[in-house]
Amino acid sequence: MKKLLSKIAMCAVALAGSPAASADQLESVLESGVVKIAVPENFPPFGSVGENFEHVGYDVDVAALIAKDLGVKLELLPVTSKQRLPFLTSGKVDLVISSMGANPSRAKSIWFSSAYAPFYSGAYASEDLAIAGFSDLKNYKVGVTGGTIEDLGLTENASAGTDIVRFGDNAANISAYLAGQVDVIVTGNVVAAKIIADNPDKNIESKFVIRQSPAFIGVRQGEVNMLNWVNVFVLHKKLGGELNELSRKWFGQPLPELPNL
C-alpha cells in the first residue's frame, strides 16, 4: 500500500510540472487584463523614445494592436538586444516584439511566430530611375558602405562593369547619395526609411531587395495557445492591411511578402 501511495505521489508531482498542468499563458493574460511586451529600447523606426518621452515605432504600434485584439491593457518594457531572450524566458514579459530575426540558436530557447515585419537590405533610388534588379545597376553609380552585408550581397551579384562606390560608414554613404555623387544607395531598410522620411522631395523608393532578414515575434517555449493566437493575429493583420499601413508609416514602403513558420 505504501509503495502504491508513493507511486501516486510521484505521478502527481510529475503531472504538476508538466506543460499540460502548468498555467496557460494566454488564459493568464486574459484573466489579468494586462499583456507585457518587450519592444526595442532605441532602434528606430522599430522602437525609440519620441516626443513627450513616449515610446514610438513600428514594433510599439504592433504591440498596441495585440493588446487591443486581446482586449487587455498594454505594458511596454523597452529592452536592448541582449535582454530580449532572458526577459522572455524568465517571464518578465509575455511576448517580444523587438525587430528579432529567427535563427536555430535562438530557437533552442524560445518559439517564433510567423514574420510580422520586413527587415532587409535593398537598392534605393529616385522613382524616376528604371531599376528592377542587379543588371540595371550597371547604368548608374551605386553607393554602399564598405565591408557590410549590403556590400557583400552587391559585390556577389552585380553585373560586370557596375560602378560601385564604397564609403567608410553609413553617414558618408547617405551624404554622397543626397549630394548626387551616386545615383543609387544600397543599404538596410531601416536606414532607408529615415532617409525617405527626412527627404520627401527626393522621391526615393525601394527598387529591389538584396537580402531578406524579416522580424518575428518571440513566444515563450511551450505556450502553444499563445503561439497559435499570435500567428492568427499576424495573418489577420496582413490580410486586413494593418501591417501594410504600419510599413508605409514607419518604413515608407508597402509591406513585402513575409515568410510563415
- Residue 22: pLDDT band with limits 50, 70, 90: low
Q: Give, rounded to a whole angstrom, the gap between the first and last alpha carbons of the chain.
A: 50
| Distance between CA atoms of residues 261 and 247, nearest Å | 20
C-alpha cell at 61: 504600434
- Gyration radius from the chain CA atoms: 23
In this predicted structure, the answer to whether residue 34 has a pLDDT above a threshold of 70 is: yes
Cβ atoms of 174 and 195 closer than 8 Å = yes
Q: What percent of the chain has pLDDT over 90?
A: 71
Element (H, E) at 141: strand 141-145
Q: At what angle do helices 224-240 and 25-32 cross, to 10 degrees?
A: 70
pLDDT per residue over 142-197, tens digit each?
Answer: 999 998 888 989 999 999 999 999 999 888 999 999 999 999 999 988 889 889 98
Mean pLDDT, the chain, as a whole number? 90
Instruction: Say what the pLDDT of residue 8 is.
Output: 46
Please answer whether residues 223 and 111 qualify as being in contact, where contact means their C-beta atoms are separated by less than 8 angstroms. yes
- 105-119 in b/e burial notation, b at 16+ Cβ within 10 A? ebeeebbbbbbbbbb
The CA distance from 252 to 179, in Å, is 21
Q: What's the CA gap between 154 and 144, in Å, rounded?
A: 8
pLDDT band of 3, cuts 50, 70, 90: low
CB 157 within 8 A of CB 138: no
Q: Indicate the helix (H) or strand (E) that contains 150.
A: helix 149-157
| Three-class secondary structure of residue 259 per DSSP | coil
Q: Which CATH class is domain 23-119+214-251?
A: alpha beta
Q: What is the mean pLDDT of residues 72-93?
A: 95
pTM of the model: 0.74
Q: Please, where in the chain does CATH 3.40.190.10 lie?
A: 23-119+214-251, 120-212
How would DSSP label each residue in 53-90?
A: G-EESHHHHHHHHHHHHHTSEEEEEEE-GGGHHHHHHT
Query: Rounded distance, CA 154 to CA 123, Å?
Result: 9
At a CB cut-off of 8 Å and minimum separation 6, what does 61 contact? 246, 249, 250
Q: Which range has the worst mean pLDDT, 14-28, 111-125, 214-228?
A: 14-28
- pLDDT at residue number 12: 47
Evaluate whether 181 touches 143 at the Cβ level (below 8 Å).
yes
pLDDT at position 205 is 94
Tens-place pLDDT, residues 97-133: 998 989 899 999 999 999 999 988 999 999 999 999 9
Residues facing residue 143 across a β-bridge: 165, 185
Right CATH number for 120-212 from 3.40.190.10, 3.40.50.2300, 3.30.450.40, 3.60.20.10? 3.40.190.10
**Alpha carbons 186 and 177: distance in angstroms, whole number:** 10
